[in-house]
């Protein structure tokens, strides 16, 4: 999905959430425009690798929950409502990008819905990740990122009485396990590709 589409869909999600939370319950602690800017920045952030060239695009670290986990690990031990809210909106924008990347660009709504049920490969390919892992990787990373965002916002707004520290810690541990699994699979795939190239070179000689 193209960058503009990511920002549009993230904005739609944000406006729905902000409408119910702020206009109805007046729970937000930050400015509307600042919150919207953070959602858009979060939706853009996974594509920041394009600034270093297309060959770095869709790499393992930006198109995953790894960056989000690092930021969350720094702040979840000392929760400040305004900071949690800022990060929560950023994380939701980030999660929307990961989840929307499983859909093809410039496709009809019907085709995008159909890809949820079809054996459709992720467009653009994730750098180094085996093809069979691409969709599960994006979906699970997106869910983990969204979960962290929801936990941060819930703590900032005190919507549901949860033990923020315990739930955040559990989510981060699960995230680390999934990240290690992805890195191991990527390393394994890299070794296979090197072996195939070496074998092909030997056959030519």
Question: At 47, is the pLDDT very low, low, confident or very high (cuts 50, 70, 90)?
Answer: confident
- 3-class secondary structure, 118: coil
Range of the domain at 57: 3-204
Higher pLDDT, 28 or 25: 28
Residue 16 pLDDT more than 60?
A: yes
Distance of alpha carbon 88 from alpha carbon 155, whole angstroms: 10
pLDDT digits (tens, 9 = 90+) for 108-156: 555 555 555 555 555 556 777 888 888 899 999 999 999 999 999 999 9
Question: At 54, is the pLDDT very low, low, confident or very high (cuts 50, 70, 90)?
Answer: low
Residue 197 pLDDT more than 90?
A: no
Q: Which of 31, 43, 38, 39 is nearest to 6 (CA)?
A: 43
Distance of alpha carbon 92 from alpha carbon 42, whole angstroms: 7
Distance of alpha carbon 23 from alpha carbon 108, whole angstroms: 33
* CB of 158 closer than 8 Å to CB of 28: no
Of 41-50, 61-70, 83-92, 194-203, the poorest mean pLDDT is in 194-203
**Average pLDDT taken over every residue of the chain:** 84
pLDDT score at 24: 74
Distance of alpha carbon 130 from alpha carbon 199, whole angstroms: 20
* CB of 104 closer than 8 Å to CB of 172: no
Residue 52 pLDDT more than 80?
A: no
Tokens of 121: 């490969």
pLDDT digits (tens, 9 = 90+) for 182-193: 999 988 888 887
The predicted model gives 156-172 an average pLDDT of 91
Task: Report the domain count for the chain.
Answer: 1
* CB of 133 closer than 8 Å to CB of 185: yes
* CB of 164 closer than 8 Å to CB of 76: yes
pLDDT score at 142: 95
Higher pLDDT, 6 or 25: 6
Sign of the dihedral through C-alpha 31, 36, 41, 46:
positive
Neighbouring CB atoms inside 10 A of 46's CB total 28
* CB of 101 closer than 8 Å to CB of 122: yes
């Amino acid at each position: 999905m193209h960058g503009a589409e990511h920002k549009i869909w993230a904005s739609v999600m944000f406006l729905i959430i902000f409408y119910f939370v702020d206009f109805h319950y007046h729970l937000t602690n930050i400015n509307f425009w600042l919150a919207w800017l953070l959602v858009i920045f979060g939706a853009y952030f996974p594509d920041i690798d394009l600034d270093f060239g297309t060959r770095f695009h869709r790499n393992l670290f930006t198109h995953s929950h790894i960056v989000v986990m690092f930021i969350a690990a720094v702040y979840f031990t000392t929760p400040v409502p305004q900071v949690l809210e800022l990060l929560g909106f950023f994380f939701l924008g980030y999660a929307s990008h990961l989840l929307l990347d499983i859909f093809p660009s410039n496709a009809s709504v019907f085709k995008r819905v159909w890809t949820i049920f079809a054996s459709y490969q992720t467009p653009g390919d994730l750098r180094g990740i085996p093809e069979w892992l691409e969709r599960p990787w994006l979906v699970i990373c997106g869910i983990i990122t969204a979960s962290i965002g929801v936990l941060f916002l819930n703590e900032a707004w005190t919507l549901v009485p949860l033990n923020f520290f315990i739930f955040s810690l559990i989510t981060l541990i699960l995230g680390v396990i999934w990240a290690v699994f992805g890195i191991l699979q990527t390393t394994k795939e890299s070794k296979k590709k090197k072996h195939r190239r070496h074998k092909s070179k030997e056959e030519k000689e």
